[in-house]
Structure 1
Amino acid sequence: MKLLKPKVLFIGLIILVSGILIYALLLNNLALLISCICLVIYGVLIFFIERKKIQEELNLLSVMIDRMMNQERVEGIQKHDEFMSSKIQHQLEKVNTLFVSKQEDIERDRDEIRLLINDIAHQMRTPITNMKLYLELLELEELTQTQQQYVDSVEKAMDTLSFLSENFIRMSRIEGKIIQLKSMEQSLTTTIYEAITVIDGLASSRNVQIHFDEELAYVVSHDFHWMKEAIINLLDNAIKYSYENSDIYIQINENEMFMQIEIIDQGIGVNEEEEAQIFQRFYRGQRVSNQKGLGLGLYITRMIIQTHDGYIKVKRKDRGSIFSIILPK
């Protein structure tokens, strides 16, 4: 059942009392007239007092909900037990206590997992380096064709392990907020061009052409090495999931407040329902489940861009996807 608004109740009261006043005047009854006036004054006072109480309660509940949304505790807020909303306040506090407790557990478990991954990755570095050294020594020997195939297979496995361990270390450093950006006003064009240089070999192996006009001069504050890493990840992703003999276009747009980098590929694209998920840690899209990978590249890229106070998004098109990096100027 809907409650009547205070304004409606007040108007109804005025109409009722006005009717009584008219009736009292017609009867020429002074006592009834004075009683009606007193009733009006009393009604008005009660109306404004109750309205103020309701407003205070609503403000209090609003503050509690805001604190809960900000993952803050709601302790220390004055309660008004005589109001009907005191029960709601108590329930909100219980929900908030439960929510904060669960959030703390999640944060603690995540920190422990991050430290474990970091330790494992660091421990892997030494044996991987030693194994690569032994492989290099083996290649100095005269090997049969079969032996050379075995060595090549082991080298590929070592490269994969090295790639995974380095990505785990990057992820741990970024999540632990222990990286220090050396942001400065510098050429974004140069950073992108250097990233293309690194990834050009992979593009050539799939006969994918990367188009970028390095003649244009764009300058924005960023860390050269980390931004280069983010762009390499996006280009690597675009090349892996593009069809052979296709094109990748890199465009830069700017306005007074932002600089936007667009990487446009002609690949398999992204499902609409996955656009908000592909930047999550370890997420693998439905269309790429048969491809190698752990789902770390886009996650690390998102963390790097967020560390630059920017954000990244993806938009699907008829053929391929558009990945956009937005950086503040």
Structure 2
Amino acid sequence: MQSSSKEIRLIISITAGIWCISLLVFLFIGFKTGASLFLTAVYGVWNLVIFAGAYWRISRNINQVLGKVDNCIQSMIDGTPVKEFSATEESLLGKFQTQIEKLYYILNSAKDREKTAHEEISELVADLVHQVNTPLTNIQMYCSFLTQDTLSDKEKTQICGVIDSQVEKLGWFAEGFTKTVRLESDIRKLEPKKQPILNMVLSAVDQISLKAKMQGNEICLSGAQDIEAVYDRRWTEEALFNILDNAVKYGQKNMPVQIYMEAYDLFARIDVTNYGTVIPKEDYTKIFQRFYRGKNAALIKDGVGLGLYLAREIITGQGGYLKVESKKETGNIFSLFLRMEK
């Protein structure tokens, strides 16, 4: 508003100058002619004309400025921002325009994020419905087989086993879907802070220990145990558990699952190594996609393909990353990287 203020001050100065000159002229004429009453009336009317003109000019200037402000705001509402004031001008209006422009882009980015999140949830629901249809169809088909009187007890038992496995698969879908939706809403609320990683690793190991024991897998922990990293404890523990669960599920029985921790300059690294079928290199990027299951995985164990997807989303959401590589053709190494500093 600096330029407008200068213009208003100039109008007032000119008006004051005209008024002073007029006063001197009328005093001179009155002194020469002695017509004081008439000149006083004329002088009063002249004053009204001068200040009415000044008021009109200032009012017009203010209305023009407010019109530009209104146009600037309306253009942002319409989605086509127009700059009415110079961004380089050191004035209140220039600063106001810059600040409201920043607010416009902040609100738009929030709107875009909301739209993206909505699209992701819609895509997730569509994927889930597609994935759920298969076990539901299988259950319906095998239930119809049970109505046949020609089936033996052994065949009925086998069919019941198939139905039970399909129901279990639906349970995995429900659990995975719940976690995914919860993650989608909480991913922007992750609260990473610098803290030791050992307690988080031990908690994840406790969760998988019973399943590992049933498989004959011993969880072996090694490496630096005094590392601190920046991460959200609750969600990162969930990510590591999913990786450990994957290692136990697809690893060889009676073989160890190894956890190794190491500190780098920028990242803390947690390796989870198992022995079993090697993941093909062409699947390295695909296995982190939602609902993706490699051919080898599908042949070995039932699953829904959400565990590694959730793990990757959690780790990348905190500025880290996740990768996989083979271990000399005898197993796989999943490496989880967490930032060392904020």
| TM-score (norm. length: structure 1) | 0.53
Partner residue in 2 for 1:183: 192
Partner residue in 2 for 1:231: 240
The secondary structure found in structure 1 opposite 2:290 is: coil
1:160, 1:118 → 2: CA distance?
A: 12
Which is worse superposed, 153-162 or 257-266?
Answer: 153-162
Amino acid at match of 2:274: D
Which is worse superposed, 241-250 or 182-191?
Answer: 182-191
1:269 CA drift (Å): 1.6
Amino acid at match of 2:214: S
Which one of the candidate residues 312, 316, 323 is aligned to 2:326?
A: 316
5+ unaligned residues in a row in structure 1: which ranges?
Answer: 1-104, 121-150
1:223 CA drift (Å): 1.3
1:148-297 equivalence runs, <5 A? 160-176=169-185, 180-213=189-222, 216-290=225-299, 291-297=301-307
Partner residue in 2 for 1:301: 311
Partner residue in 2 for 1:327: 338
Are the structure 2 counterparts of residues 263 and 271 from structure 1 closer, same or farther at C-alpha, using a change threshold of 3 Å?
A: same
The secondary structure found in structure 2 opposite 1:265 is: strand
**Matched positions, count:** 200
Larger Rg: 2
Higher relative contact order at CA 8 Å, sep ≥6: structure 1 or structure 2?
Answer: 2
Contact 2:169 / 2:302 at 8 angstroms: preserved in 1? no
Contact 2:231 / 2:339 at 8 angstroms: preserved in 1? no
Contact 1:248 / 1:265 at 8 angstroms: preserved in 2? yes
1:57-96 equivalence runs, <5 A? none
Are the structure 2 counterparts of residues 243 and 257 from structure 1 closer, same or farther at C-alpha, using a change threshold of 3 Å?
A: same
Contact 2:320 / 2:337 at 8 angstroms: preserved in 1? yes
**Match status 1:113 vs 2:135:** no
The secondary structure found in structure 2 opposite 1:212 is: strand
Amino acid at match of 1:195: A
Contact 2:201 / 2:240 at 8 angstroms: preserved in 1? yes
| TM-score (norm. length: structure 2) | 0.51
Amino acid at match of 2:336: I
1:218 CA drift (Å): 1.7
1:263, 1:180 → 2: CA distance?
A: 27
Across the aligned residues of Structure 1 and Structure 2, the Cα RMSD in angstroms comes to 3.5
The secondary structure found in structure 1 opposite 2:268 is: strand
